[in-house]
């Protein structure tokens, strides 16, 4: 189904059911991908009216606002979205919104650091991804600097989540981890998932 047909399908869905949050979001995403910023904004704002805690809608609407020259409004929306996504345990959109803010020269909220301050004693381990004082990995998963950072910063629960996600990444991108390109793509997605975008 081409993009125009998909747009028509979701347009019919929102007309049939104006309360359909998923249809409004999907329509907004398609408008965004098609470069239709007014259409994207309209659908994404409706999504947030129906579900104010939709973190990916926050991220996409923030990008729409940036592309239409409303930087202050975008910064406010994205900053709130970072906190919201963290509260929901949706770490990928949280990390993405933080990166957008950093690219604008804005230091984003750091909910993980705040969680550490609230829950952990000085020097006590708290996972960089989820902010929880869960058990850390007993051994580094790789014999390099990245493996050491994962052991130092990531808890066992988040690592297990990545192992499950890594299978999808390998299959979706048809990665051959024996090649440099395959390893680089794999590492990129792993660091994004774990919130280690600044890792070596």
Position 7 confidence tier, pLDDT thresholds 50, 70, 90: confident
Q: Does position 130 have pLDDT exceeding 80, yes or no? A: yes
Closest-CA residue to 14 (of 23, 25, 5, 3): 23
What pLDDT digit, counting tens, does each position of 43-93 carry? 999 999 999 989 999 999 999 999 999 999 999 999 999 999 988 888 889
Q: What is the pLDDT of residue 129?
A: 83
Of the candidate CATH numbers 1.10.287.1080, 3.30.70.20, 1.25.40.10, 3.20.20.70, the domain formed by 3-110 belongs to 1.25.40.10
Cα–Cα distance measured from residue 53 to residue 83, given in angstroms and rounded to the nearest whole number: 10
What pLDDT digit, counting tens, does each position of 12-35 carry? 988 998 998 888 998 999 999 999
In the predicted model, what is the mean pLDDT of residues 109-124? 68
The token duo for 118 is 């609230």
Burial 122-154 (b: 16+ CB within 10 A, else e): eeeebbbbbbbbbebbeeebeeeebeebbbebb
In the predicted model, what is the mean pLDDT of residues 156-181? 91
Q: Does position 37 have pLDDT exceeding 80, yes or no? A: yes
- Per domain, the residue ranges of the chain are 3-110, 112-194
Q: Does domain 112-194 have CATH number 1.10.3880.10?
A: yes
Share of residues in the chain with pLDDT > 90 (%)? 57
Cα–Cα distance measured from residue 83 to residue 89, given in angstroms and rounded to the nearest whole number: 10
Average pLDDT, the chain: 88
Bridge partners of 136, per DSSP, are 155
Cα–Cα distance measured from residue 114 to residue 148, given in angstroms and rounded to the nearest whole number: 23
Cα–Cα distance measured from residue 127 to residue 89, given in angstroms and rounded to the nearest whole number: 13
**Inter-residue contact 139 to 145 (CB < 8 Å):** no
SS3 content of the chain, % helix, strand, coil (to 5): 70, 0, 30
Q: What is the pLDDT of residue 71?
A: 96
Share of residues in the chain with pLDDT > 70 (%)? 92
In the predicted model, what is the mean pLDDT of residues 150-157? 92
Give CA torsion, residues 63, 65, 66, 69, to 10 deg. 160
DSSP string spanning 100-154? HHHHTT-----HHHHHHHHH--TT----TTT---PPBPSS-SSSSHHHHHHHHH-
Q: What is the pLDDT of residue 63?
A: 97
Q: What is the pLDDT of residue 5?
A: 84
Q: Mapping DSSP to helix (H, G, I), strand (E, B) and coil, where does residue 167 land? A: helix
Q: Does position 103 have pLDDT exceeding 80, yes or no? A: yes
HSE-up of residue 113 (Cα within 13 Å, Cβ side): 4
Q: Does position 117 have pLDDT exceeding 80, yes or no? A: no
């Amino acid at each position: 189904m081409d993009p125009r047909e998909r747009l028509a399908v979701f347009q019919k869905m929102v007309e049939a059911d104006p309360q359909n949050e998923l249809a409004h979001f999907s329509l907004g995403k398609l408008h965004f991908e098609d470069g239709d910023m007014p259409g994207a904004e309209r659908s994404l704002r409706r999504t947030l009216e129906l579900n104010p805690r939709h973190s990916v809608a926050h991220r996409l609407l923030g990008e729409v606002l940036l592309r239409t020259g409303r930087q202050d409004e975008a910064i406010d929306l994205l900053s709130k979205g970072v906190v919201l996504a963290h509260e929901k345990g949706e770490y990928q959109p949280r990390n993405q919104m933080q990166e957008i803010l950093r690219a604008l020269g804005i230091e984003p909220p750091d909910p993980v650091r705040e969680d550490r301050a609230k829950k952990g004693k000085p020097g006590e381990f708290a996972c960089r991804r989820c902010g929880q004082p869960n058990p850390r990995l007993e051994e580094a998963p790789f014999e390099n600097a990245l493996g050491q950072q994962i052991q130092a910063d990531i808890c066992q629960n988040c690592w297990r989540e990545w192992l499950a996600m890594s299978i999808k990444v390998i299959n979706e991108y048809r990665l051959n981890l024996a090649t440099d390109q395959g390893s680089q793509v794999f590492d990129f997605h792993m660091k994004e998932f774990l919130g280690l975008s600044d890792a070596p």
